[in-house]
């Protein structure tokens, strides 16, 4: 048996029991993918990460990301939370007000910038792959039904479409905060839409009506077919969300965009998004936030 050291952090929040919880195993050397998957299932958090030496010595670490059911090629809150733990444990370069590292994930190298305050990590921001748009779902009634909403709740002035910055999500614009609060996912109808239209079986809903001053959008993410009825903070979906907002002129390139998420779950999260444009093309996608250390321990594997 081997004692595997793990850390627990809440990501995209500055307080305990907010944001999205994450388990980080800082020494994944020698573990098989099957063991990593079993550990992730044991923790039963939305994601668990395992830190490994990089394949390319120019990079800092390799990170593998597992849900309780499968491995992911990239995800936002695991990237931010793992970076926070690495900085806290002095496993990356430190010194000065900030540092830049590169993590290897399934989609390739992911640059991450870390800010420090009083010598400790205070904010981390990852760069995500540039976006890919499409397809769109034209049937608003089918979209509304898979969220247990009325068709009038879906904003017909904006497209319901897939956007990916490494992982695809279906973005559903809603008219009101009330509609966002009432949304309830129907796994069977989401799966049917995925098969018939060719969209991912998860829905990211948002409205420009918000609860907190300073937020630009109020968001929820449903992925019941992946065992995640609702996710409190989805960094991997927040980069594409920002791209959607900028492309459809709901937000300005270069401006700070804050997505509030997880409020309906009692785990308020605040995700900072920055989208850069060169001409009409999106040229940079960055997602960041704060983290709160919860605890650490060992698991026998």
Range of 30's domain?
3-128+290-300
Say whether pLDDT at 108 is over 90: yes
Q: In the beta sheet, which residues pair with residue 127?
A: 286
3-state SS of the chain: helix, strand, coil percent to 5?
25, 40, 35
Quote the pLDDT of residue 227: 75
Residue 132 has pLDDT above 90, yes or no: yes
Q: Are residues 295 and 215 in the same domain?
A: no
Beta bridge partners of 109: 104
**For residues 233 and 80, what is the distance between their CA atoms, to the nearest angstrom?**
11
- Same domain? For 189 and 153 the reply is yes
Which run of H or of E encompasses 259? Answer: strand 257-261
pLDDT in tens, 239-251: 999 999 999 999 9
Clarify whether residues 279 and 152 are in a common domain. yes
pLDDT of res. 198: 81
**Of 34, 42, 47, 161, which is the active-site residue?**
47
Mean pLDDT across the stretch 280-284?
A: 96
Q: Are residues 198 and 258 in the same domain?
A: yes
- Cβ distance 97 to 116 under 8 Å? yes
Task: Name the phi and psi angles at 15, rounded to 5.
Answer: -145, 160
* Whether the predicted pLDDT of 164 surpasses 80: yes
d(CA 114, CA 87): 8
Same domain, 121 and 192: no
Q: Is the pTM of the predicted complex or chain greater than 0.95?
A: no
Q: Give me the torsion for CA of 135, 140, 144, 150, rounded to 10°.
A: 160
Total domain count for the chain? 2
Task: Identify the H or E element spanning 242.
Answer: helix 235-247
- Average pLDDT for 103-113: 96
Length of the chain: 301
Verify that 275 and 155 share a domain, yes or no.
yes
Active site residue 47: yes
Contact status, residue 19 vs residue 263, Cβ threshold 8 Å? no
Domain shared by 136 and 280, yes or no: yes
Using CA atoms of 17, 299, 110, 98 in order, give the dihedral in degrees to the nearest 10: 60
CATH of the domain at 232: 3.10.310.10
pLDDT at 202 (0 to 100): 87
Determine contact, residues 170/241, Cβ cutoff 8 Å: no
The percentage of the chain sitting over the pLDDT mark of 70, rounded to a whole number, equals 100
pLDDT for 69 equals 86
Considering the domain architecture, whether residues 119 and 39 belong to the same structural domain is answered as yes
Band the pLDDT of 54: cuts 50, 70, 90: very high
Q: Are residues 102 and 215 in the same domain?
A: no
Give the three-class secondary structure for 234.
coil
Give buried/exposed letters for 132-165 (b at 16+ CB in 10 A, else e).
ebeeebeebebbbbbbebeeebbbeebbbbbbbb
Task: Locate 162 and state its tokens.
Answer: 């897939």
Does one domain contain both 162 and 229?
Answer: yes
pLDDT at 292: 98
Do 72 and 88 touch, CB atoms closer than 8 A? no
Average pLDDT value for residue range 115-127: 96
Give 96's pLDDT tier (boundaries 50, 70, 90). confident
pLDDT of residue 1: 84
131 has a pLDDT exceeding 80: yes
Residue 238: pLDDT band (50, 70, 90) is very high
Mean pLDDT of the chain: 95
Q: Does position 83 have pLDDT exceeding 80, yes or no?
A: yes
pLDDT at 157 over 90: yes
Structure confidence at residue 95 as a pLDDT band (50, 70, 90): confident
**Up-side HSE of residue 157: CA atoms within 13 Å toward CB?**
8
Question: Could you tell me if 136 and 277 lie in one domain?
Answer: yes
> If pLDDT is split at 50, 70 and 90, which confidence band does 195 have?
confident
> How many C-beta atoms surround the C-beta of residue 293 within 10 A?
16
Asked if 147 and 265 sit in the same domain, the reply is yes
């Amino acid at each position: 048996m081997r004692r595997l050291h793990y850390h627990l952090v809440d990501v995209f929040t500055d307080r305990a029991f907010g944001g999205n919880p994450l388990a980080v195993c800082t020494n994944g050397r020698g573990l098989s993918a099957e063991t990593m998957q079993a550990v992730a299932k044991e923790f039963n958090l939305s994601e668990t990460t395992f830190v490994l030496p990089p394949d390319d010595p120019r990079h800092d670490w390799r990170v593998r990301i597992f849900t309780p059911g499968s491995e992911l090629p990239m995800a936002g809150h695991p990237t931010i939370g793992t970076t926070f733990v690495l900085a806290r444990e002095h496993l990356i370069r430190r010194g000065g007000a900030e540092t830049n590292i590169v993590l290897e994930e399934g989609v390739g190298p992911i640059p991450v910038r870390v800010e420090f305050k009083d010598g400790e990590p205070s904010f981390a921001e990852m760069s995500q792959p540039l976006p890919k748009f499409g397809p769109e779902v034209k049937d608003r009634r089918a979209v509304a039904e898979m969220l247990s909403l009325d068709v009038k709740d879906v904003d017909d002035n904006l497209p319901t479409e897939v956007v990916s910055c490494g992982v695809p999500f279906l973005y559903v614009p809603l008219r009101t905060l009330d509609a966002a609060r009432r949304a309830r996912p129907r796994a069977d109808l989401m799966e049917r839409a995925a098969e018939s239209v060719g969209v991912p079986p998860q829905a990211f809903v948002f409205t420009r009506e918000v609860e907190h001053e300073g937020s630009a959008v109020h968001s929820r993410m449903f992925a019941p077919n992946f065992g995640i009825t609702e996710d409190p903070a989805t960094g991997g979906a927040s980069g594409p969300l920002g791209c959607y907002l900028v492309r459809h002129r709901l937000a300005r390139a270069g401006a700070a965009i804050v997505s509030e998420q997880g409020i309906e779950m009692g785990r308020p999260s605040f995700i900072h998004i920055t989208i850069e444009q060169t001409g009409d093309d999106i040229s940079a996608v960055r997602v960041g936030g704060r983290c709160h250390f919860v605890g650490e321990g060992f698991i026998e594997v």
